[in-house]
Amino acid sequence: MRGSFFGLNVAVRGLFTAQRSLNVVNHNINNINTPGYSRQRAVQTASRPAAAMDGTGMIGTGSNVISQERVRDEYLDFKYWSENISMGEWKAKTELLSEMEVTFNEPSESGFTKILSDFFNSLQELAKDPGSEAARAIVRQRGITAAKYFNSTAVHFEKMQTDLNMRVRTKVEELNSYAKQVQQLNRQIYIAELDGSSANDLRDQRTVLVDRMSEIANIDASEVVYGKLPDGRPDKHFLITISGKTLVDHYQISELAVEQRTSKLNEEDVDGLYEVGWADGNTLEIKGGELKGYLDIRDGKEGMNGSPIYKGIPFYMRKMNQFVQTFAKAFNEGYIDRNTDYTIQPSEDGIGHTDGFGADPDGIDGPMGASTGIRFFTMLGDDGKPLSTSEFIDGETTISGIISRYDKLTAKNFSLSEDIVLDYNKIAASDTDMEIGNIEVLNSLIAMRHNKTMFSEGGPEDFMKSLISTLAIDAQQAERYTANQKAIVHQISNRRTSFSGVSLDEEMTNLVKFQHAYNASAKMIATMGEIYDTLINKLGV
C-alpha cells in the first residue's frame, strides 16, 4: 500500500489534467477567427504506475498532459503552396489582359473598327464631290482621329508597362519583407522548442507568411533535418527556396533585388525596366506566382521564328507599329513590304497618295495641282508636332531610301502630315493635273481597305481584328486557368480548414467533457477528504 494521501494525489492530478485540457479548449475558441490558426489539443496519457507494496501488481497513479499538439497536415500545406503559385500567376495575367482589352475598346463606337470605317467612309464621300471643302475637312479630321487612336493606345500601353515595372519592384520588396519575418520566426521557434515543446502559434504565423509568399513567386518550403540535438531529437531547419536557390535558410536570408536594365530587352520597352535577381548578383528565373504574371505581360515578346514566348505588352506594341508602318507605306507610296521575302513590291495598282494631285481653290496651280508628292501620313517630331512631307522624307530620293523612312514610324508617333493638317486641299484625289473630276487616286486609296495582300492576315481591318482576337483568346485562356486554379486552391483550403480549423461544436463538446472530468476529480478530492477526516478525527471515538 502506498502513503496515506496516495488517493488524494491521484485526484489532484486528474484535476490538473482536466484544467489544462479546458485551457486548450479556451485557446481554440478564442482563435476561431484567427487567420491560419491550427486547432490544438492536449495530449493526455496515464502517468507512470507505481508498484504495490505487497507485490501484487502495479497501482495507477492518475494522468498527465505531456504536450499541447498542433493539428496540421503538412502535405496539404505543400499542396496548397504548389497550386497557389499557379493561381497567383494566372490571376495577375487575367487582370492585366482584361485591362489591355479595355484599351483596344472593341467592339465599341470608339474602337479601331469604327474609326477605320469612318475614315474610309469619309474618303468615299470625298469621291462623290472631290472639290468639296467640307468633305476634305472631314477626311482630315477622320485621319487625325485614326492616328490619335494609335497614339493613345501606345501611350496607355507604355504607362501600363511602367506601372507593371513598379509592381514588380513592390512585389520583390514584399517578398523580402516576408522572408525576414520568416527568418525571425525561425529563430523564435527553434529556441522555444529546444526543451521539446512545440511553438504551435509561432508555426501558424510562419505558415501564413509562406501562404502569402507562394502567391508571389515559385517558392519551395520545407523543414530539413541537419543532425541530432543533445537529447536525441532531430535538429530541424526551415528552408525556403526560389528556383533552386535558398531565400531563407533557417537563420540566414538571401534577399532579392531589382536592377534597372542598361539596355532595352525589346525596342518597344520604356526606359528603366527592372531585372529581378539576387542581391548578391546571381541571376534568377521566376517560374510562377504574381511576379511571373507581371514579367510575362511586361516583357512578353515574339520568340525565335516569330513564335511568341508570351504575348505581352511589347508583342502588341510591335504589332501596332507594324500596322502603322505597313498601312502608311501603302497609303502614301502604294508599296507593300512583303513579310515573305522582305522586298518592296507595288500594291495591286501601285498608286498611293503621293502620286495624286489635290485641289487648288485659288486656281494658282490649276484646279487640281496643289499636292503633288504629298504624304498623307507622316510622324510626330521630337517637339510633338507633325512632320511635313519634306521633313519626313529627309532628302531621300530613291524608293528604298524613302521606304526605309517608314521604319521610324510607331503607333506612338503616327500622325497626319503637317501638309494635310495645315491645308486639307492637299488631300490627293486625281492622278492627273487639271482634272477636277478625276478620282483615280482616291479610288485606289479607298480600295486599300479591302486589299488582302497588305498583311499576312488580310486587309487592314483583318489585321487589327486578328490582333484583338488574339488578345481576347489569351484573356479568355487566362480567365479559364484562373477559375480552375481558384477551384483547386479553394478545395485544398477547405481540406486544410476541415482538418486544422476550429469547430465550435466540437470545442463545446470537449468543454462539457473536460468540465465533467474536472468536476469528477474535484468530487474525488472531496470524497478523499471525508475519508481522511473520518480516519483521523472520528475513528475510535
Nearest to 474 by CA among 161, 165, 95: 95
Alpha carbons within 13 angstroms on the beta-carbon side of residue 317 total 26
**Contact yes or no for 443/358 (Cβ under 8 A):** no
**Contact yes or no for 440/430 (Cβ under 8 A):** yes
Q: What is the pLDDT of residue 227?
A: 86
Q: What is the pLDDT of residue 391?
A: 95
The whole-model pTM stands at: 0.88
**Contact yes or no for 92/85 (Cβ under 8 A):** no
Dihedral over Cα of 452, 454, 459, 462: its sign: positive
Q: What is the pLDDT of residue 189?
A: 95
- The x, y and z cell numbers of residue 47, run together, are 502517468
Nearest to 422 by CA among 373, 374, 353, 368: 374
- The x, y and z cell numbers of residue 272, run together, are 528603366
User: Which residues, at least 6 apart from 113, have a Cβ–Cβ distance to it below 8 Å?
Assistant: 106, 107, 461, 464, 465
Q: What is the pLDDT of residue 197?
A: 87
Interatomic CA distance for residues 241 and 181, integer angstroms: 15
User: Which residues, at least 6 apart from 114, have a Cβ–Cβ distance to it below 8 Å?
Assistant: 107, 108
Residue by residue, pLDDT tens for the chain (541 residues) are 455 678 888 999 999 999 999 999 999 999 999 999 999 999 999 999 888 777 778 888 899 999 999 999 999 999 999 999 999 999 999 999 999 999 998 888 888 999 999 999 999 999 999 989 999 999 999 999 999 999 999 999 999 999 999 999 999 999 999 999 999 999 999 999 988 889 999 999 999 999 999 999 999 999 999 888 887 888 899 999 999 999 999 999 999 999 999 899 888 999 999 999 999 999 999 999 999 999 999 999 876 445 567 899 999 999 999 999 999 999 999 886 554 333 344 444 478 999 898 886 554 444 444 556 899 999 999 999 999 999 999 988 888 899 999 999 999 999 999 999 999 999 999 988 877 778 999 999 999 999 888 998 899 999 999 999 999 999 999 999 999 999 999 999 999 999 999 999 999 999 999 999 999 999 999 998 888 888 888 776 5
Phi and psi at residue 257, in whole multiples of 5°? -150, 160
Cis status of the peptide bond prior to 107, with omega within 30 of 0:
yes
Nearest to 266 by CA among 324, 326, 317, 308: 317
Sequence length of the chain is: 541
| 205 alpha carbon, distance to own chain's centre | 25
**Contact yes or no for 51/35 (Cβ under 8 A):** no
| CA terminus-to-terminus distance, the chain | 25
